[in-house]
Amino acid sequence: MRPLLLCAWLLTLGPGLLEARAQSADTLRLTLIQTLQRALEVSPDLQAVEARQDFAEARYDQARASRFLTQFQLQTAHAVGPGLKIPENNTFSTEALYLNPEVRNDWRNVRPFNQLEIQLIQPLWTWGELSGQIRAARYGTEVEAAGTRQKALEVAARTGELYFSLQLTEALLRLARETGEILDRAKEEVNRLLQEGDPTVDDADLFQLRITEQEYLQRVVEAEERHRIARSALARQLLLPDSVVIDPAEGPLAPLSFTLQPLETYLELAEANRPEIQQARAGLAAREALVDVARSDYYPKLFLGISGRWTYTAGRYRQPNPYISDPYLGESLRAGLGFRLNLNFGQTRARVEQARAQRNEVAYQLEAARQLVRFEVEEAYRNVRIAQAALEARDRALTISKEWLRTEQINFDLDLGDTENLVRAVRENLELQARYYEAVYNYNRAVLRLQRAVGVLDLNVRRGTLVE
């Protein structure tokens, strides 16, 4: 037997070599959907974007509140004011002290001074200014909501790929265990043949086997570290503590159950669901509203204004004569309608043109987003077809290799086979298993990216499924 052919193959598995996984009491088993849902719940990136959405909604509430009592404020003032120095020979009543020229402010006898002032302005007709601001704020919330969905798509896709990567590592680990067992059997067989004096084996075979074993162990360390990186990356994505080890609950890496539809179907879905397009549409509507707001400055705004003031200082007397005003005592109320118009029409025209230019900018961005989305969808669609073809080819090749291996094993058991052919069959079968898992990983990732390109990945995950 020439075990070196088999040993040389061991190095071809590369990162698939690995560790016996230590089970921990803190192992967390999650399905793919559970993993994606958890990522959407705890992702700080997503929460940061949601905070901006909350800000936009609060701004929308503020815009709606401005429809009534645009200006409604109370202002108070509290100080000390002078009392009155009334001559002893005063003959006027306290309501006619203004007729006595000898009455003076007495700053040596100050009194508490209090003043309350209320101002209220209610717009009655603004030529679309208020309604335009409200519409712009509402569409602003849609812009931020689309931004939140965009981040959710990114988080879900990244988490899904990390999950598949961990599953791939798990699959290669199982394959590596088989490889390790074959290596051990090969060493035992070489030692046995050397002890029996078999002329087909010599010390060179044993030395090469030992050299191969060292290279294998080096690859094992490399694979272990890559496996830890994959597991750590997914744990970080889910904000799990270091003491918790995540374990895919769906078993070996397997192709997603997915039926590819015609390209036009995905293009239509993307037009309706991609957040970039939704964001641009909402932004365009908001800019349209702001054009109306700028244009409203051409016309006079009708408003109702009310203001009232109450002032009181102890020790002073009200003078009912309407021509007499005491700043330390009195009350007033004014109410009426008014118009407000900016007469600098040159500035108004410039503001309208600015608003139109910003609207046009967003319109061009919308068209650019559509074209980019169509390209991304088509690219993702064709990548799925490529990955699907590769997976089918790997699957058929693996089936053929199993048949080949089975035939060689039967021939070997009947002393009709060739040892070299059996080794080649084993080597090819193990290598094709590794390539098959890589093809499954590429296919699942391609499907995931197509769901993201279409813009339905996060929606499906929240509904509890990956693909519809």
Local confidence band at 5 (pLDDT 50, 70, 90 cut-offs): very low
- Per-residue confidence band for 468, with pLDDT thresholds at 50, 70 and 90: low
pLDDT of residue 37: 95
Q: What are phi and psi of 267, to 5 degrees?
A: -65, -40
Sheet order of strands, 301-313 included:
71-85, 104-125, 301-313, 330-340
Q: Look at residue 175 in the predicted model and tell me its pLDDT.
A: 81
pLDDT tens profile 94-149:
888 989 999 999 999 999 999 999 999 999 999 999 999 999 999 999 999 999 99
What mean pLDDT do residues 32-39 have?
Answer: 95
Tell which wins on pLDDT, 225 or 456: 456
List the one residue out of 115, 116, 94, 114 whose CA is nearest residue 103.
94
Q: What's the rounded mean pLDDT across residues 294-316?
A: 94
Q: What three-state secondary structure class fits 89?
A: coil
Structure tokens at 44: 């700080």
Tens of pLDDT, residues 11-28: 444 444 444 444 445 889
User: In whole angstroms, what is the distance from residue 387 CA to residue 449 CA?
Assistant: 12
